[in-house]
Amino acid sequence: MNNFNFYNPTKIIFGKDRISELDKLIDSNAKVLVLYGQGSVKRTGVLDKVIAALGERKVVQFGGIEPNPTYTTLMKAVEIAKAEGIDFLLAVGGGSVMDGTKFIAMAISYQGKNSEDLLKPGFASKHVIHAIPLATVATLPATGSEMNSFGVISHKAAKYSVSSPLVFPQFSLLDPSITFTLPPIQVANGVVDAFVHTVEQYVTQPVDARFQDRTAEGILKTLIEIGKQTVDHPTDYDARANLVWCASNALNGLIGAGVSQDWATHLIGHELTAMFGIDHAQTLAIVLPSLWRVRKENKHAKLLQYARRVWDINEQDESTAIDLAIDRTQEFFESLGIKTKLSNYGIERDKIDDVIDALNANGMTALSETRDLGLDVSKEILNLAY
Ligand code: NZQ
Ligand code: ZN
C-alpha cells in the first residue's frame, strides 16, 4: 500500500426530513448566501424549506448557477457576497452548485489581482490561505462534491479542476427524498458518475490495498444492484439512500487513500463536455469501456479482479473473463438509459481530431495511473468509442 494522508472534516447529516436542522448547524449570527441552480429547487419546494429553516438570520440568495458552472456566473456571486458582507455559503443543488460554491468561497477571500489564476492547476491548494466556510444541501447524488474538496469550473470552453482543503463543506445535509424529483436521466448520470469515480481508483495497478479494494467492490456491487431500481422507481427510499451514500463514499478520499489512481476517463470526458456539452456522466460512459479495451494489458490484474469479484465471472480464460466484464459494464450503463457511443450524441467522427487538439492544448498528454496514455492512445480510445 502506498503512503497517504487522509483528511475529511465534513459532517454528514443523513436521512429524511432533516432540513429544519439547518438552524442548529449554522451560527445564528452568520450572514448566509444561499446558492442554487437554474430553478429546480424552487419548483420542488426545497429552497422554501431551506429559507424557512434559516429563520431570522440575514439571508441573501443567488440563483442561476448553470450545469458545468461558469467562472463568469460565479464571479457575479462573489461581487454580491462581498457587497453584502456574507460570511457563510450554503449550496442547495447538485454538483454544479456545490462546486461553484467552493470556487466562490475561495474567490471571495482571494487577495490576488486576477481570480482566473485560481483555475490554474494546483494554484488554489498552494495559494489560497483563507476561504469562507460553506455547507451543502445536496439534491443530486453523483459527484461526491458534498464530501470532498474539489470543484470543476468551466471557463472559455475548457474545464478546470480546483481543489483546496479549505473548501471541504463544514457539513452536508443528505436527504435522499429530496432527490426523488430528479429526471430519470440525471439519476442514471449519478449512478454512472459514482461507478466511474470508484473504478478510476480501483481498476488501476495493484498495491495490495485490501480494505480499499473491498470497499470499492462493495460500492460497485451496490450500484449494480440498485442502479436500475432507483432509476425506474424514483421514490423507493432505500434504493435511493444507497445511491446517495455510495456516491459520497466513491469520492470522499476513503477508497483512494494509498492506491494508484487513473482519472484518464474523466480528463478525456471533460473535453467532450467542454466541446459538445455532453453531460459529465455520459462522457464517462462513452470513454470508459473503450479505454479499458485499449488498456487491457496495462490493467490486466485489476480488470481480472474486477471481473471475478464485482461481476462474479468464473470463466477460466483470463482474457475472455476481462472482455466479459467490460461488456457487462457497458450493458449496465446502457440498461440505465445512458448511451455509450460517441456517435449516439450526434458528433461527427472527424471531430475526434478537435478533441485531441484540445487535450494537447490543455496539457493532457500523459494520462492514467502510469502516465503513459498519450494523445495517440486517446485517439485510439475515442475512435473505438465512436
Ligand atoms: O440547475 P437546476 O435547476 O438545479 O437543475 C439541475 C440540473 O439541470 C438538476 N437537478 C439537480 N437536483 C435536482 C434537479 N432536478 C430536479 N430535482 C433535483 N433534486 O439536475 C441537472 C444537473 O445538475 P448538476 O449539478 O449539473 O449535475 P451533477 O451533480 O452531475 O454535477 C455535474 C458537475 O459536477 C462536476 C462535473 O464536471 C459537472 O460540472 N464534477 C464534480 C466533481 C467533484 N466536485 O468532485 C467530480 C465529478 O467527476 C465531476 O467532474
Ligand atoms: Zn465524475
Q: Which whole number is the average pLDDT over 267-286?
A: 97
pLDDT score recorded for residue 10: 98
With cut-offs at 50, 70 and 90, classify the pLDDT of residue 234: very high
With cut-offs at 50, 70 and 90, classify the pLDDT of residue 370: very high
Joined together, the cell numbers standing for residue 63 give 440563483
Outline where DSSP puts E strands in 253-355. none
- Ligand 1 atom index nearest CA of 40: 3
Pocket probe mutation, ligand 1, options 272, 280, 284, max atoms within 8 Å of Cβ: 280
For each of the domains in the chain, give its residue range(s) and CATH number, in order of start.
11-178 (3.40.50.1970), 184-384 (1.20.1090.10)
Q: pLDDT tens digits for 158-195? A: 999 999 999 999 999 999 999 999 999 999 999 999 99
pLDDT at residue 364 tops 90:
yes
- Ligand 1 atom index nearest CA of 102: 44
With cut-offs at 50, 70 and 90, classify the pLDDT of residue 12: very high
Beta-bridge mates of residue 92? 36, 137
Residues 74 and 64: beta-carbon distance below 8 Å: no
Q: Which whole number is the average pLDDT over 103-129?
A: 95
Beta-bridge mates of residue 136? 91, 172
Q: Whole-angstrom Cα distance, residue 382 to residue 356?
A: 9
Return the C-alpha torsion angle 378, 381, 385, 386, nearest 10: 60
Q: Cell 489512481 identifies what position? A: 261
pLDDT at residue 135 tops 90:
yes
Q: HEC states along 38-70? A: CCHHHHCCHHHHHHHHCCCCEEEEECCCCCCCE
Q: Whole-angstrom Cα distance, residue 161 to residue 140?
A: 19
Q: Whole-angstrom Cα distance, residue 193 to residue 111?
A: 34
Q: Whole-angstrom Cα distance, residue 142 to residue 138?
A: 10
Question: b/e for 177-209, b at 16 or more Cβ within 10 A?
Answer: ebbebbeeebbbbbbbbbbbbbbbbbbbeeeeb
With cut-offs at 50, 70 and 90, classify the pLDDT of residue 75: very high
- Ligand 1 atom index nearest CA of 197: 48
Alpha helices by DSSP H, 90-209:
95-109, 123-127, 184-200
Nearest residue by C-alpha to atom 25 in ligand 1: 94
Longest Cα separation, the chain: 66
**Ligand 1 pocket, Cβ-based, cut-off 6 angstroms:** 37-41, 44, 67-68, 93-97, 99, 139-140, 142-145, 148, 150-152, 178-179, 181-182, 186, 189, 193, 251, 266, 280
In sign, the C-alpha dihedral spanning 236, 239, 245, 249 is negative
**How many C-beta atoms lie closer than 10 Å to residue 346's C-beta?**
8
Q: What percent of the chain has pLDDT over 90?
A: 99
pLDDT at residue 157 tops 90:
no
With cut-offs at 50, 70 and 90, classify the pLDDT of residue 227: very high
Joined together, the cell numbers standing for residue 79 give 461581487
Q: Which whole number is the average pLDDT over 22-40?
A: 97
The DSSP element (H or E) to which 331 belongs, if any, is helix 318-335
**How many C-beta atoms lie closer than 10 Å to residue 359's C-beta?**
21
Q: pLDDT tens digits for 236-275? A: 999 999 999 999 999 999 999 999 999 999 999 999 999 9
Q: Whole-angstrom Cα distance, residue 108 to residue 354?
A: 35
Beta-bridge mates of residue 34? 61, 90
Nearest residue by C-alpha to atom 50 in ligand 1: 152
Nearest residue by C-alpha to atom 38 in ligand 1: 68
